[in-house]
Amino acid sequence: MVTVAEPVVTSRLSVRIQKRFRAAGTPPFQLGIEESFSAGFTVLFGPSGAGKSTLLDCIAGLVSPDEGFIKLGEEVFFDSEKKIFLPPQKRGIGYVFQSLALFPNMSVEENASYGLSHLPAADRSEKVERILATFHIQALRRRKPAELSGGEKQRVALARSLVTEPRVLLLDEPLTGLDEGLRQSILQDLREWNTVHGIPILYVTHNREEVNAIGDRVLAIEGGQGRKSGMPGAVLDAPRSAGLAQAAGFENLLQGKVIEQRAVDGVMRVALDATHCELEVPLGTAQLGESVQVAIRAGDILLATHALHGLSARNVLPGTVESLEVRGPLGIVRVNAGARFTVHVTPGAMRSLELTPGLILWLVVKTHSCHVVSPQ
């Protein structure tokens, strides 16, 4: 379905910026990003308030950084040393806001042609025609934004930005609130558009499913800093901090202390606070005695109703079932093993294991399913 073609023109977007924010009543916030974005999707992922939207505003020119530079290929948008600041209307950047910001006083067609005022009328209507077709919204041309559904608005906002043939596209959670099918269909239209144009697309989200759905490069951002970049699997499955772990969907975040390091075995032991539980986790940079958090996905924990022997998994903890819940295809089991664990199983497994509250069982966790993250 998705055709992958070589981009026509490739300009890298290079960003190295520092921006400090100080507002009364809020802790000071510092954005510091050094990153280069090539053609295609880069997902900016992180918890709310991580600075993702602020980064987009800086690239767009709506916010001026304190220091650093922003360049597209050889063209300088911002350079604090050379005192260059190109205003947003001269950058040729497309930006779709979270609120979409469609002009309420204009029809879909007028919204879409707003960025083409420099062109003669004939070219303008031809381009608008083509972009409305690309996003399957020709039928809506006479409607006002107030008369559109959520998904239609999102298509119009994308069309309005893309018709100007931007050199960089910034998308701030443009597809939130859409169901999976609609999201995929809009994403596919966008991908098709970009096989021809080949521009860097920065896509902000705090939704893990969306990261997987887009599937390209990810830059994890937290506390205003770029934490890690790479393919989604590498970034999401090995979070480095508690905030990112939570955002990436690690249901179990357990507070503890490093009590033993065994370099030979490549492991260390973490005693969970206020419990007798100990977990064996991969050897990391944490020091002996240091407070850490251990992140474990609920789906990475096995349940056993009898004690097991001869197992490669190093962590086997006895516990008691506290509660059971079924949500569609997901069975959620809460287990008290000193610390409270959330475990995901199938409703079928729940039945065949005859899980009931009060049942004593064993939690089985592989060492490498335990991710040591630094506390926030």
| Residue in 11, 54, 164, 315 binding other proteins, rule: CB under 8 A | 164
| Residue in 52, 127, 160, 240 binding other proteins, rule: CB under 8 A | 160
Minimum CB separation from other proteins for residue 105, in Å? 5
| Residue in 7, 49, 88, 299 binding other proteins, rule: CB under 8 A | 88
Examine residue 99 and tell whether it contacts other proteins (CB under 8 A): yes
Q: Judged by CB, which is closer to other proteins: 103, or 308?
A: 103
* Look-up of token digits 């005695």: 289
Which one of 20-28, 83-91, 326-334, 347-355 is the stretch in contact with other proteins (CB under 8 A)? Answer: 83-91
Closest CA to 84 of 95, 72, 68: 68
Minimum CB separation from other proteins for residue 182, in Å? 20
Examine residue 150 and tell whether it contacts other proteins (CB under 8 A): no
Examine residue 22 and tell whether it contacts other proteins (CB under 8 A): no
Q: How many Cβ atoms sit within 10 Å of the Cβ of residue 23? A: 8
* Residue 15, phi then psi, degrees to nearest 5: -130, 125
| Residue in 3, 89, 312, 352 binding other proteins, rule: CB under 8 A | 89
Examine residue 62 and tell whether it contacts other proteins (CB under 8 A): yes
Q: Judged by CB, which is closer to other proteins: 8, or 103?
A: 103
Q: Judged by CB, which is closer to other proteins: 104, or 328?
A: 104
Examine residue 2 and tell whether it contacts other proteins (CB under 8 A): no
Q: Which residues contact 74 (CB under 8 A, 6 or more apart)?
A: none
x/- site string to other proteins, residues 268 to 307, per CB under 8 A?
A: ----------------------------------------
Q: Judged by CB, which is closer to other proteins: 78, or 362?
A: 78
Which one of 6-14, 54-62, 237-245, 321-329 is the stretch in contact with other proteins (CB under 8 A)? Answer: 54-62
Q: Give the footprint of other proteins on this chain (CB under 8 A).
A: 60-62, 87-90, 92-95, 97, 99, 101-105, 114-115, 117-118, 145-146, 160-161, 164
